[in-house]
Every structure is written in C-alpha cells, then in structure tokens.
Structure 1
Amino acid sequence: MSDPLTTLTEAGVSIWLDDLSRERLIDGSLARLVADRHVTGVTTNPTIFAKAITGSDTYADQIHSLALRRVDADTALQELTAYDVRWACDVLRPVYDATGGTDGRVSIEVDPRWAHDTDRTVAEAHALWRLVDRPNVLVKIPAVKQGLPAITACLADGIDINVTLMFSLHRYRQVIEAFLAGLERARVRGHDVTQIHSVASFFVSRVDTEVDHRLDKIGTDQAAALRGSVAIANARLAYQIYEQYLAGDRWGALAQAGARPQRPLWASTGVKDPRYDDTRYVTDLVADGVINTMPEATLHAVADHAQIPRDRIHGTYSEARQTLVELGALGIDYDDVVTALEDDGIAKFDASWDHLTTELSATLTEARR
C-alpha cells in the first residue's frame, strides 16, 4: 500500500509544516518530520511564535541573556524568533541544497503591526533577512495594499519573499504584478534572478469558516448546499490565475533570463469544521508545482488515510466560477468576505504580537531585578 505523502510528493506538491518551536528543534521532531514525513519546508506566523514562546521554558536562558544586554521587547522578540528560524534553516539546508533552492525553506514574518506602513515593512524585511542570515529563509510580507510595493522593493533588492494572508483573487493578481515588477527591477540592478525565490500563500480554510457562517444565517436549502465549497473553488481559481501569468509574455521574458516562478502555497489547510473530511484542503488542491503547508495534525491525517489524486485542480475552473456566482446569487458579496478575512487576519496577528511583546517586556523587566 503506497504512502499518501509519497504519492502527494510524486504529484508535484511540496509538503511544508505550518509550525515551529524551540522544543521541536531541541527534541529533533522537526528533523524526524523531514526524514520520515516528506516535510521540505516550514512556515511560521506571529500566532505560532506567541504560542511557542509563552508556552515553553526553553527560551529562558536566551531571555535572561537579552535582559542582561538591556534590549527592549521588540528587539528581544526579533532575536528569539530569528534564532529558531536560523536553526530550522540549518535543519532544512540539505533539502535546500538537494532541490536547488526550490524547497528547504523556512519563513519568518515581518512585525504585523507595520503591515500598513510600506517603508517600515521594507526596513523590517531587510533587518530579518540580515539577522537570520541563511540562504533558505523566506521573509513573509502580508498582501495588504501597502504590502504590494514592499514586496516589489524587497524582491528588487534580492530578498526572498513569502507573500502571506491572501484571500482575494483580485489581490492575487496584484501580488503577481508586484512579483514581476520586483524581478524586473532586480534584473536591471544586476541581481541574479535565478537565485531569487518567492511563494504566494493563499489561505483556504478560513474562507469556508467565514462563508459557512454567512450561509448558516441565510438558512435555506440552497445555502446549505453551498457549505464547504467556496474555499476550494477560490483556491482553484487562484491556480488558474497562476497558470495564466506563466503563459504571459512578461513572465516569458523573465523565464528566459532563468527566473523562477512564484509558487502558489496553500495555507490554512487545517479543517476547522468537524463535519468535513480532515484532509479535504490537501486532497482537493493537488496540482504540480504547489506547496501545501499543514499543521502537524493535518500532516499525520494525510499520512494515515488520505486518498491522493494525481490532479484535483485542472478541469474544475468552470465549476469553481459557478460556485462564486451562486454565492453572489444568495446575497453574499465575495469582495466583502475577502476584505473581512484580510482585516481579521492582520488583527489576529497584531493581537498575538502585542500580547507576546507585553509578556516579554514583563519577563525582561523581572529578569533585570
């Protein structure tokens, strides 16, 4: 009987883990997932780090050292998270080398409190790039409006970028434009575009959570029939956009220079509604060239019982578009849904970072006494 994770990898899907903590690094569980579960990358976010740092005493020695150096909470937080990401990059370095830099990647996010400040986001991205100082790090920038020029500016400077918190098809088109503009500028500036990497993180399950809530308020049979269908339809149409840009002349010119495409990454793939199959955001989004970043529980569920098709995206575009048409016919505005999700995503990361900074500030103060 074939291993579902092997089948998924053979279908062209890169398996990344959506989690990181110092405990996972110390006890070797990340290395074991790389060795035994086909994990070829790691993503983090402010909420993941807030949980890791406040829920473990493995950071105590470094926090004590930071307190002795009299650093503030923001600087300490950068040092703590960069330490973990640097270590994870080293664990994934053999994968990075074996895949020519395509995989073996670890992401670290800019301070989400500055997501709507372009210049500060660029400065933060440069600081993290220097601080981690590993060729396989990806700096995450949220795909809000003000993040778009920051994405272009960082890519133009040769910084590898993970564009995160995408929900909207319109925003994805803008992200692709920002990516192309960044590579074009990098090329003009003399950077080796063959060495610049980027992924575009399109969030999945949160779309169903928001839409299903609105459908349940409507309460009709037609609304019930649409439950659990919008997130996958949205992601499939995003992949169609990806294919369209690969076929465009603008990308063709960059590809001739050896540039690498910005790969689609399916994020938020853990199932939040227990009525749904726990592997659906993996098995229904299989296509060559994508990344699926999973919480560990989803990773193990896929390994245990998932049925992996060779491709679940091509041939679905008409059906996916019809799903969004039916959503609008029920009175649910797509643009309102994705805007709410983007705003909520930034707010949640802000709250996690604020809470962590407050906790860390108190800990640093106590350690100095």
Structure 2
Amino acid sequence: MTVNDPLAALNAAGVSIWLDDLSRERLVSGSLADLIAHRRVVGVTTNPTIFAKAISNGAAYESQIHDLAVRGVAVDEALRTLTCSDVRAACDLLLPVYEATSGIDGRVSIEVEPRQARSTEVTIAEARALWWMVDRPNLYIKIPATPAGIPAIARCLAEGISINVTLIFSLARYEFVMESFLAGMEQARQAGLELSRIGSVASFFISRVDSAADALLDTIGGPEAAELRGRMATANARLAYQRYEAVFSSPRWHALRAAGANPMRPLWASTSTKDPAYKDTRYIVDLITPGVVITMPEATLRAVEDHGQVPEDSVRANYVDAERALARIQGAGIDYDALAAGLEDEGAAVFETAWEALRKQLSARLSSSLAKAP
C-alpha cells in the first residue's frame, strides 16, 4: 500500500470494493477492465435502473437489438438476453478475481425482473432462469428482501444458486434475511451440495435511509431534529453489523462453516450522498469494518480515491452511540418501522417503473430495427 492510497486502505481494512454500475459501453471500452486493474474493483452490482440507463442510451447494443428483432424475440426475452449478455461478459472479466479469492469476490449481480418480485414462486423461477442463462459460477442473483422474497432466498440457496439479497432497510428484516440464509445453506448441506461454491451477500441500503429520515426531521423541526439529521443511516448499518457478528458467531453458523460454507457478508449499497451538505465519502469512511462489501458508483469511487480518509474500523466501537442515535430519532417522532416499510415499497416501485419504461423503449427499438432490415 502506497502513502495516501485510500482504496488500498479500504482493502487493508478488510473491505471489498464493488462497482455499482455496468453497461455494454463499459465492457467494450475497457473501462471496467481498467477499474479492476487499477482501482481495486473486485465485483460489480447491477439493478433495473442501471440497465434502463445503459440500454436506453447505449449505441453499443444496436447490433444485438437488430439480431433480436429479425429473430422475432419478444421484448421481455430480449431484455433478459441483453442484460444477461452484459453480466456474463462482466463475470468472465472478473473470473480471475473469483478464482484468486476462492469465490469470495469476483462476483457480478443481476436482479430478478422487478415485476415478478411480488410472488415467491415466480421469483424462484426467474432466479433459476437467470442462473441458467448467465451460466457462470461467479454470478449472484439479486432477490429483494420483501415478504415474498424471503422464502425464495432460502429455496434458491438450497439449490446452489448464489444470492445477493437487496432492498434491506430495517434490522428486523435483516434478521429474517440471515435466518433465510442459514436455512437455505442447511438444506444445501443436506442435499450434498458443495457449500463453498454457494455465495451470498446482504445489501443494506444507506443513503436512502438518511434522505427519508432527514425529510421527516425537517418537518418536525427544532434544534434536536436538526442535530439528528444524517445520523440514522450510519447508525442503522452499524447495528446491522452488530447483528451480523452475533449470528455468524453462533453454534448454528459454526456447523455450516465446518462444512465449507462462507458467511453471508454485509454489503453497503446506495452509498452516494444525496444531500450536498454531506461529504461525498461519508457513507464509505463511516462504515469501514472487516468482511464487508461496499458498492459505489464510479463518482463515489473516484471521490474516495481522491480525498477519502479511511480509518481502520469505524463500526464496531460505535454500537452504543448507534443505539442512542436510533433511540433519539424515534423519540423525536419518527416511526422506524414505517419508514423502513415505505423505503422498501418505494425502492421496489422505482425499479419496476424503470423496467417498464425500458420495456417500452426497447419494444420501439425492436420495431424500428425490424423496419430497417433488408
């Protein structure tokens, strides 16, 4: 590690850096390869909004869209083909990292189609289809931590499908997620699967929590509410890690560990700051601790590299402060459970809206490409 190398300092603190972005342009231009080679990126996450932006604005997709059009492929299958193609290529690019870390890193995530996430059975079927289509060992299927998603997580893990659980906002929901992970891995062990090949992370969302809490605190008003702005997200994540430590030091977990399983690592998602009054690196440097993944859009990654002040650990010594902060926020009049439930619904709706807009645009492009065909 060189002097003033914050990205190396993150690695030294036990943090894995994953890029929260993917596009065909990143793949063909060598941008992703460069970030892997020179910016310590060891994984990639995607979501429906990321793909909506990439495909809507990406000329690099035109040739494949034309081929799909002349073959008469329906819009939903065309979308799966386009997104799975990008994810497969990213998996291949990160395969050396996957092999060098024994499957811990080098992972690429693709989310189940958001309109399907309200049904457990459809989510499982979609996860199986994506797992088959991408067909790479370093793939993660993203399943939302909704009431319908929780049982799907266990069943997919039991079949050997590696899972990134997304849209986690509350500590209670995180407990259900970890229970689902343990149950799924126990079933996989009973089925005789090789547990070391089944990976999982739990994506706890950060900045969206502060955005929602701060808006409510501003409505409440007063000096105490003003002083509590920007404290809920970090406190929430720190207490999530405390729960992670408890679950993954239990006899139940040690039995799985002895059978070859790797832990379901906490992943900090939504790490770009939304409030310009906050430092652009705060959701990175305030959540450093061993064994976590932090996903970042490239702008946040560059900001950390440029001026991030990375401590050895900014989580485990702050549990008491985090508990007090959450208690004060709730005492000020914020309903923690209602806020988390609202964020879950909002997150699912945002992805669904982005996906539907992309479907409409791709349908038009397929028709246009077909009309131009000789």
TM-score category, normalised to shorter length: over 0.9
Structure-to-structure mapping, 1:204-223, within 5 angstroms: 204-223=206-225
Q: What does the per-residue CA deviation read over 1:257-286, in whole Å, with 9 as the maximum and x for residues that have no partner?
A: 111100000000001111001100000000
1:2 CA drift (Å): 2.9
The answer as to 2:81 corresponding to 1:116 is no
Letter in 2 for 1:356: L
The aligned counterpart of 1:10 is 12
The answer as to 2:280 corresponding to 1:278 is yes
1:224 paired residue among 220, 223, 226: 226
Report the Cα distance in structure 1 between the residues aligned to 2:189 and 2:368, rounded to whole angstroms.
50
Report the Cα distance in structure 2 between the residues aligned to 1:247 and 1:58, rounded to whole angstroms.
47
Report the Cα distance in structure 2 between the residues aligned to 1:90 and 1:158, rounded to whole angstroms.
20
Report the Cα distance in structure 2 between the residues aligned to 1:176 and 1:290, rounded to whole angstroms.
15
The answer as to 2:66 corresponding to 1:67 is no
Structure-to-structure mapping, 1:250-329, within 5 angstroms: 250-329=252-331
Aligned to 1:2, the other structure's residue is in SS state coil
The aligned counterpart of 1:334 is 336
Aligned to 2:260, the other structure's residue is in SS state coil
Aligned to 2:316, the other structure's residue is in SS state coil
Letter in 2 for 1:359: Q
Q: For structure 2, list consecutive stretches of 5 or more residues without a partner in the other structure.
A: none
Aligned to 1:278, the other structure's residue is in SS state coil
Report the Cα distance in structure 1 between the residues aligned to 2:364 and 2:319, rounded to whole angstroms.
52
Letter in 2 for 1:118: T
The aligned counterpart of 2:132 is 130
How many residues align? The count is 369
Q: What does the per-residue CA deviation read over 1:81-110, in whole Å, with 9 as the maximum and x for residues that have no partner?
A: 000000111111111111111000100000
TM-score (norm 2): 0.98
1:36 CA drift (Å): 0.7
The aligned counterpart of 1:350 is 352
1:194 CA drift (Å): 1.6
The aligned counterpart of 1:35 is 37
Report the Cα distance in structure 2 between the residues aligned to 1:316 and 1:145, rounded to whole angstroms.
30
TM-score (norm 1): 0.99
1:367 CA drift (Å): 2.2
1:289 CA drift (Å): 0.2
1:68 CA drift (Å): 1.1
1:218 CA drift (Å): 1.0
**Cα root mean square deviation, aligned:** 0.7
Aligned to 1:164, the other structure's residue is in SS state strand
Q: What does the per-residue CA deviation read over 1:190-219, in whole Å, with 9 as the maximum and x for residues that have no partner?
A: 111121100000000000000000011111
Report the Cα distance in structure 2 between the residues aligned to 1:178 and 1:69, rounded to whole angstroms.
41
1:153 paired residue among 139, 152, 155: 155
The aligned counterpart of 1:57 is 59
Report the Cα distance in structure 1 between the residues aligned to 2:167 and 2:275, rounded to whole angstroms.
20
Report the Cα distance in structure 2 between the residues aligned to 1:72 and 1:237, rounded to whole angstroms.
45
Report the Cα distance in structure 1 between the residues aligned to 2:308 and 2:22, rounded to whole angstroms.
24
The aligned counterpart of 1:170 is 172
1:348 CA drift (Å): 0.1
Report the Cα distance in structure 1 between the residues aligned to 2:221 and 2:120, rounded to whole angstroms.
42
The aligned counterpart of 1:97 is 99
The aligned counterpart of 1:248 is 250
1:368 CA drift (Å): 2.3
1:160 CA drift (Å): 0.4
Report the Cα distance in structure 2 between the residues aligned to 1:45 and 1:220, rounded to whole angstroms.
38
Aligned to 1:286, the other structure's residue is in SS state coil
Give percent identity, aligned residues only: 59
Aligned to 1:70, the other structure's residue is in SS state coil
Letter in 2 for 1:336: A
Report the Cα distance in structure 2 between the residues aligned to 1:69 and 1:141, rounded to whole angstroms.
30
Q: For structure 1, list consecutive stretches of 5 or more residues without a partner in the other structure.
A: none
